[in-house]
Structure 1
Amino acid sequence: MIERRFEQIIFASRWLLAPFYLGLVISLGALLVKFTQEVLHILPNVLEMSEKDVLLAVLTLIDLSFAGNLLLMVIFAGYENFVSKIDVADHEDRPDWMGKVDFGGLKLKLIASIVAISGIHLLKAFMNLAQTSRDELMWLVIIHMTFVISGVLLACMDRLEGHRAPTPKAAGKSGADHH
């Protein structure tokens, strides 16, 4: 009786994560504000901007879009994996991957997005060599390569995990005898 109640409390504790995901939704709104601010800054000046400055501005918009995509992936997949299923199965706009991304898949999507964001920052630094110090550029490359290597290692580990033979589930509860 005590064990069952304790397990119900532990299971219900997953709802403590819901405010985290709500906070991430608010963060997505903050990214939208920054994106809009950037667009409103670019549009009136686009005719006077150099091609390089337009490309840098567009890279900033892409960077913000990737960050938004990353947030949305974490919100959807994290909520579905750890809190509750999102009941929109019949909705015509439901993304195909929704409900199919497990924690391992989420990690790979996250690292891929982080590598893309890091790559954009690196490209912006290379396009702005006059304003980028040698040390800053070196660290940007080191950090980017760290993300790339981490992504490759995560993908390898995920692949190895997928090739492991599934462990048979024991009948009933595992561990200590429950009386």
Structure 2
Amino acid sequence: MGLKPRLETAFERLLFQSRWLMAPFYVGLVLALAMLLVVFCKELIYYLPKVFSFDAGLTSNDAILAVLTLVDLSLAGNLLLIVMFSGYENFVSKLDLDGETDRPPWMGTVDFSGLKMKLIASIVAISGIQLLKTFMNIGKTGYELNTQEALWGVIIHLTFVASGVLLALMDWLTSKTDKH
């Protein structure tokens, strides 16, 4: 039973090359990152003049909410970068960046398990910021608290936290078992 049949070899090559069908997804994520940058700049341009306005300037709570919004967008951008780089390197092709001095140290070392953990950690952080924004608006004039929406926000956030803990536990258990 020496050589594989030609049909099987051709199919395996086709299957292996099909990984390049993921490349347009990563291009789409680059465009999504650009979209986040535009939204970030719009938020920054919106809040900057208010900082220097004495008439209707930002209160400390407004400033914190503005900063949380910018941090939220930054975390989403970081999440996109992690998914783009790790996904591309894990599933499509290694990035050939020889001589690149500012390559982040985690690039090329984040496997699917690490990607999963970074993803859930980012989602938990983003969810927590959204929840904090809701709580900081309580008692603010013109803001009507929707208690059912706030309750669901807490439930969803706790679900993300529990999911993260369970994923970490599964990874820990998997690392303790013998490799097959």
- When normalised by structure 2's length, the TM-score is 0.91
Q: Which string of whole-angstrom CA distances, capped at 9 and with x for unpartnered residues, describes residues 111-135 of structure 1?
A: 0000000000010000011433111
The one-letter amino acid paired with 1:14 is: R
Letter of the aligned partner of 1:44 in structure 2?
A: P
Q: CA RMSD in A?
A: 0.8
SS of structure 2 residue aligned to 1:129: coil
* 2:57 paired with 1:52: no
81-90 vs 23-32, greater mean Cα deviation: 81-90
- Give the aligned length: 167
1:28 and 2:28 matched: no
Q: Which runs of 5+ in 1 are unaligned?
A: 168-179
Q: How does 1:58-73 map to 2 (within 5 A)?
A: 58-73=67-82
Tell me the SS of whatever aligns to 1:93: coil
Q: In the alignment, which residue of structure 2 is the partner of 1:9?
A: 14
Displacement of 1:89: 4.4
3-state DSSP class of the match of 2:88?
helix
Task: Give distance in 1, aligned partners of 2:157 and 2:100.
Answer: 38
Aligned position for 2:99: 90
What is the CA-CA distance between 1:164 and the residue it aligns to? Answer: 1.0
Matched residues, percent identical? 59
Q: Where do 5+ consecutive residues of structure 2 fail to align?
A: 1-5
Runs of 4+ more than 6 Å apart: none
2:170 to 135, 149, 157: 157
How far apart, CA to CA, are the structure 2 residues paired with 1:25 and 1:111?
Answer: 20
1:153 and 1:89 map into 2 onto residues whose CA distance is 38
Deviations 1:38-64 (A, max 9, x none): 000111111311111111010000000
TM-score (norm 1): 0.91
SS at match of 1:123: helix
Determine the C-alpha separation between the residues in 1 that align with 2:20 and 2:61: 47
| Residue in structure 2 matched with residue 144 of structure 1 by the alignment | 157
* 1:42-93 Cα shifts (integer Å, max 9, x gaps): 1111131111111101000000000000000000000000000011143111
> Hey, what's the Cα distance between the residues in 1 that align with 2:120 and 2:163?
8
- Where 1:152 maps in the other structure, the secondary structure is helix
The equivalent of 1:170 in structure 2 is none
